[in-house]
């Protein structure tokens, strides 16, 4: 049974969770986020937030939130994004989840 991870990106100073995503490799995913933000291929709020951290010689914290069966990752990601929003977190996710990245 193959599994994958649901993760969070959080502010390294305040600990505030800002993003929820899915990945098969937690370290590769963090550096993928950083690389995309540096390349400025998208002017997304997430990339702007990461670039702000990088200018302060910081990077987001990444933590595994859940490990799920690969066939259930979409509903798990949707659940966690919705849950954090319900708890009042100001997430930078641009969708409700379930679209995911390949890393």
Phi, psi dihedrals of residue 73, rounded to the nearest 5° = -65, -35
Q: Give the strand order in the sheet containing 3-10.
A: 17-23, 3-10, 61-69
pLDDT tens readout for residues 22-69: 999 999 999 999 999 999 777 889 999 999 999 999 999 999 999 999
Q: Residue 100 — very low, low, confident or very high, per pLDDT cuts 50/70/90?
A: low
In a domain, 102, yes or no: no
Q: Which of 51, 6, 1, 9 is nearest to 30 (CA)?
A: 9
In a domain, 96, yes or no: no
What CATH number does residue 72 fall under?
Answer: 3.40.1440
Domain coverage including residue 17: 3-86
In a domain, 103, yes or no: no
The number of distinct structural domains making up the chain is: 1
| Residue 5, pLDDT above cutoff 50 | yes
Q: Residue 21 — very low, low, confident or very high, per pLDDT cuts 50/70/90?
A: very high
pLDDT at residue number 103: 44
């Amino acid at each position: 049974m193959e599994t994958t991870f649901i993760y969070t990106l959080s502010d390294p100073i305040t600990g505030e969770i800002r993003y929820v995503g899915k990945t098969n490799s937690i370290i590769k995913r963090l550096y993928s986020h950083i690389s995309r933000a540096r390349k400025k291929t998208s002017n997304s709020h997430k990339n702007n937030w990461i670039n702000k951290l990088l200018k302060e010689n910081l990077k987001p914290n990444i933590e595994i939130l859940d490990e799920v069966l690969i066939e259930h990752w979409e509903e798990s990601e949707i659940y966690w994004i919705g849950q954090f929003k319900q708890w009042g977190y100001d997430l930078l996710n641009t969708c409700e989840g379930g679209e995911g990245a390949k890393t």
